[in-house]
Amino acid sequence: MRVGIVILPEYRWWAAEPRWRGAETYGFDHAWTYDHLGWRSLVDGPWFDSMATLTAAAMVTETLRLGTLVVSPHFRHPVSFARQVLTVDDVSDGRFMLGLGSGATGKGGYDRTVMGEEEITPRQVTARFGEFVELMDSVLAKPVTDYQGEYYTAVQARSAPGCVQRPRVPFLVGADGPKAMAVAARHGQGWITLGPHEAADLDDWWRGVGERAEKFDAILAERGRDRATVDRYLSLDASPLFSLESVEAFRDHVGRAQELGFTDVVVHWPRPDGVYAGRESVLEQVAAEVLPTLGGRASLLAQNSTETSNVMGDPGVSLGEVDSSEG
């Protein structure tokens, strides 16, 4: 089980940098930020660009994988955005993962309404998303792309020098409905789910997650794609209980995700109040006590630390102490 963490792009860099460094020090396998122009209850607060943030994060980390959770077509065009993807992949030396999603429908999506767009139907959202992913795939993987669709056009779009990761960066496709899942099955190296948007309680949410996992399995089978070729990402904090509410809550979330066959889970860096409110002390405890038992980067860090201590005769320091000294 690999574990990632979301760091919202709401902090000035002097405050954000220690968090990105901390995500690597703690042993998380990947770290993410949101790709929005503004988001829900935080729309009136500070908010920074995702790709510029990830470029900066790439400069202060070495092995941590970095990604968008998630890019939507609401204010992006595949041709121009592909240049940003190429750049972050290059600066990070092949550590970038492109999370993609269809975006909100109706009147609730700020990314759409702030651009003055008219209301878009679910059918249009799905169709546009399919084109967006298809064209992104072509522009990033082929030397030259010509494309004419209902929503997007590309004329002799170049991709030089190409991605560091070949044939392109991995696509992780957010999908909860069957049509979006079909896009994930066709183009994705990973599938991301938030589970049911409305759940009566935590158990109800987990039942919905299981149903979506079964549905995605069926779509993969219909397309003749091996289940093992697509990683599965679950955003734990879409559940009714914040996963870093306590160490016990985190253990329970991870255990249930493992039982449902997820390869990766994603949590959020605790905020002082509001959405994802929690205590950073819980994050530190999870990093020290739980992450090393899950087999990801934290396990390797713990093993290397033990080997170094045995050779040097140094008792070492805890992850919490490392983070405190850097902060």
The whole-number pLDDT of residue 17 equals: 98
**Would you say 88 and 97 are in contact if contact means Cβ atoms under 8 Å apart?**
no
Non-local (6+) Cβ contacts of 138 within 8 A are 145, 147, 154
The whole-number pLDDT of residue 104 equals: 74
* Residue recorded with tokens 């979006």: 180
The whole-number pLDDT of residue 307 equals: 66
264-268 and 2-6 beta bridge pairing: parallel
Question: Could you give phi then psi for residue 68, rounded to 5 degrees?
Answer: -100, 135
**Would you say 203 and 186 are in contact if contact means Cβ atoms under 8 Å apart?**
no
**CA–CA dist 305, 292 (Å, integer):** 11
Percentage of the chain modeled with pLDDT above 70: 92
Q: How far is CA 33 from CA 105, 159, 268, 282, 325, in A?
A: 21, 25, 9, 20, 24
Would you tell me how many other CB atoms lie within 10 Å of the CB of residue 308? Answer: 12
**Would you say 284 and 325 are in contact if contact means Cβ atoms under 8 Å apart?**
no
The whole-number pLDDT of residue 176 equals: 93
Per-residue model confidence as pLDDT tens digits over 38-85: 999 999 999 999 999 999 999 999 999 999 999 999 999 999 999 999
The whole-number pLDDT of residue 314 equals: 46
Low-confidence stretches of the chain (pLDDT beneath 50): 312, 314-327
The whole-number pLDDT of residue 308 equals: 59
**CA–CA dist 260, 211 (Å, integer):** 10
